[in-house]
Amino acid sequence: MKSVRRSGAKLASPESVFHLPAVQALFFQILSFFLVLLIARSLAAFFGMSINLWLAAFFQGLLAAGFSYWRKLASWWLAIQLFFPLVLLFALWLQLPPTLFMLGFLVLLFLYWTTFRTQVPFYPSGTATWQAVAELLPQERAIRFVDIGSGLGGLTLNLAERRPDSEFSGIEIAPLPWLVSVLRAFLTRSGARFKRGDYGHLDFAAYDVVFAYLSPVAMPALWEKARAEMRAGTLLLSYEFPIPDAVPTMVVSSLVNQPRIYCWRM
């Protein structure tokens, strides 16, 4: 019997795990550290030269960024790789208390949670997007709407206020944004509902509209799930990120020079 992940995909093999950008980035940092260490010791042994610690950190970041560029990681990874050793060294130089690092780690952990696996970072949308989505919803009847990766819940709360006749829900895997959205719904007495979990657990057949603001990496799998589960006539919306090789039924813009909303009528 084959084991499956919660989202329905097969458990990742060690080879596929290495293809995760976060894993590659970590590997390149470790590799660069040992390469710089080897160079520094060789210079000291053969020429009696020593490398300044800040210069060593810069070269480590430069090497890691070079490896990341070679592996064609996203552009933001290059900046992270370049500055990470310098920022870490600077933090050590400040002699900050360990509890501060632990607090920062916990905040980032609960904010981003399994971003390293899902490759869907925290992307908030704005009020112009909420207005555009509201105009795309069927107006002649009550609907069931879900925002997959609902973040702080702004879109879902806004739509629930606009359309009290319909059911609006959001699902978010990261604990901190989910908790914020639940508290916002409670404090405003909103009819919106929020669930913490992986949207791969949802049955898209239960919804009339599925909204996604994910990342380019997640779009092929989303399309596969939508085609398998969504009912004829229902609507799949994706903000900013199109689905490769899937021609949208309609494309709208919330504002000039702003990301588009891609719509597919299933």
Domain final residue pick, 40, 74, 95: 95
Same domain, 80 and 138: no
Same domain, 163 and 67: no
Residue 198 falls within a domain, yes or no? yes
The answer to whether 137 touches 111, Cβ cutoff 8 Å, is no
pLDDT in tens, 234-256: 999 998 889 999 999 999 986 66
What Cα–Cα distance (Å) separates residue 205 from each residue in 28, 125, 227? 42, 25, 10
CATH number, residue 229: 3.40.50.150
Nearest to 13 by CA among 22, 3, 21: 3
Residue 112 falls within a domain, yes or no? no
Number of domain units in the chain:
2
Same domain, 26 and 78: yes
Residue 75 falls within a domain, yes or no? yes
Range of the domain at 20: 14-95
Same domain, 132 and 229: yes
Same domain, 137 and 203: yes
For the chain, first and last CA: distance in Å?
33
Residue appearing with tokens 């933001």: 76
pLDDT in tens, 99-120: 766 676 566 555 555 554 444 4
How far is Cα 93 from Cα 219, in angstroms, rounded to an integer?
42
Same domain, 260 and 167: yes
Residue 117 falls within a domain, yes or no? no
| Cα torsion through 228, 232, 234, 236, rounded to 10 | 40
Residue 118 falls within a domain, yes or no? no
Same domain, 56 and 132: no
Same domain, 167 and 55: no
Look at residue 123 in the predicted model and tell me its pLDDT: 58
C-beta pairs of 89-97 under 8 Å, 24+ apart in sequence? 89/53, 89/54, 89/57
Residue 51 falls within a domain, yes or no? yes
Question: What residues of the chain score a pLDDT lower than 50?
Answer: 1-14, 116-120
Same domain, 138 and 85: no
Same domain, 132 and 259: yes
E strand or H helix at 263: strand 260-265
Residue 251 falls within a domain, yes or no? yes
Domain final residue pick, 73, 95, 117: 95
The answer to whether 214 touches 262, Cβ cutoff 8 Å, is no
Same domain, 235 and 157: yes
Residue 113 falls within a domain, yes or no? no
Same domain, 241 and 135: yes
